[in-house]
Amino acid sequence: MSIKADMNWLMGCLFDEVERDRITALQPFPAFGAAASQFGIENSGKGTRVELWKSVDKLNGSFNTRTQGDSDCVANGTATAIDNVKGVEIDIKEELEIWTGETCCEDIYAGSRNQVGQGRLRGQGGSYGHWAASYVTEYGTLVRGKYGNYDLTAYNVNTVRNWADKGVPAELLNISREHKIKTISRINNYSEAISSLSNGYSLTMCSNQGFTTYRNKKGVCSPKGVWPHCLAVLGFDDTEGESLLCICNSWGNYLTGPSRHGEPNCMFYIEAEVFDRICNSSGAEVWAFSDYNGFPPKTLPLRLF
């Protein structure tokens, strides 16, 4: 089945304002605006351009474009945001960590539905953005690789489906808890979004807003249709009178039309007013992901060689 021909089966973002607000209230910094003011980073990013995805491109050898195989968009969007948080920490902030690979999404999907959602979605597809965001702060993340009998080296849609109603195996949770996102905060507008991004904190955007599958001469996709979908936000361009956010999808290299600054064909820009409208739409949620407990390099004793 062609992704461009029929994308409805890939849209698995669910909405529940009451549960969203409950999860939000549990966070140390529920509102990004208040947190940004406390830490002195409010109004960051004005008049600048930020492309967080380029750190992943550099560390990974190329940008790890994701291609969903099921209605696990929330997990793919969350994993993409986390990749870019840890990429920036290593590449730009020069944290003492090493890049070991892309973040798995299979466990985020299963964990959001089961470890956080307590099996309330059993028998149906999709998940909530707030459950995925909560999962990576409480239960952590895994990177691509082999863990005993579990092979997570490459995306596997069968694992997505097998774990959807079972949750993440307990032995993997013992590993993932070592690599958590430290905090999540809700974003309410474009100004907050670029303040977050300019400090290296990627976003997820969950809404019903769809977009064209072709980019105009500025690399922008216009609002079109209804997508109950989760997308990552990995940069912005606030220069030369523009106010644009860089969006990353998980449908492979499906876009046509020119890129703005050499982005892969899974990325496009949207206008600030479109983003603000999404933030204020029913059920929508945008999350900022802060620092990541990564993989510090280790100096091994010579006797091991």
State the CATH number of the domain containing residue 256: 3.90.70.10
pLDDT band at 283 (very low <50, low <70, confident <90, very high): very high
Residue 178 lies in a domain: yes
**Average of per-residue pLDDT values in the chain:** 93
Q: What angle do CA 85, 88, 71 make, to 5 degrees?
A: 35
As a whole number of angstroms, the distance between CA 193 and CA 32 comes to 9
Residue 219 lies in a domain: yes
Residue 227 lies in a domain: yes
Residue 1 lies in a domain: no
Residue 237 lies in a domain: yes
Residue pair 109/129 in contact by the 8 Å Cβ criterion:
no
pLDDT for residue 5: 55
Q: For 271, which DSSP code? A: E
pLDDT tens profile 257-271: 999 999 999 999 999
pLDDT for residue 50: 97
Measured N-to-C along each axis, helices 73-91 and 129-138 cross at an angle, to the nearest 10 degrees, of: 50
Residue 304 lies in a domain: no
CA nearest neighbour of 246 among 231, 236, 257, 260: 236
- Higher per-residue confidence, 205 vs 1: 205
**Domain that includes residue 211, residue range:** 12-289
Q: What angle do CA 199, 97, 41 make, to 5 degrees?
A: 15
For 52, the token pair is: 């967080």
pLDDT band at 7 (very low <50, low <70, confident <90, very high): confident
CA dihedral 17, 70, 2, 58 (to 10 degrees): 90
Residue 120, pLDDT > 70, answer yes
CA nearest neighbour of 211 among 156, 263, 174, 266: 266
3-state DSSP percent of the chain in helix, strand and coil, to 5: 35, 20, 45
CA nearest neighbour of 188 among 30, 81, 51, 73: 30
- For residue 269, the one-letter residue type is Y
Q: For 77, which DSSP code? A: H
Residue 224 lies in a domain: yes
pLDDT for residue 96: 76
CA nearest neighbour of 112 among 135, 82, 146: 135
pLDDT for residue 231: 98
For 123, the token pair is: 């028998």
pLDDT band at 104 (very low <50, low <70, confident <90, very high): very high
Of 140-144, 150-154, 235-239, 288-292, the least confident: 288-292
Residue 267's Cβ-side half-sphere holds a number of Cα atoms within 13 Å equal to 25
pLDDT for residue 300: 43
Residue 303, pLDDT > 70, answer no
Residue 244, pLDDT > 90, answer yes
What is the tally of structural domains in the chain?
1
pLDDT for residue 4: 56
Separation in Å, CA 270 to CA 176, 187, 244: 33, 16, 5
As a whole number of angstroms, the distance between CA 18 and CA 295 comes to 36
Name residue 181's beta-bridge partners. 292
Q: What angle do CA 185, 157, 88 make, to 5 degrees?
A: 35
What φ, ψ does residue 269 adopt, rounded to 5°? -105, 150
pLDDT tens profile 65-84: 999 999 999 999 999 999 99
Residue 11, pLDDT > 80, answer yes
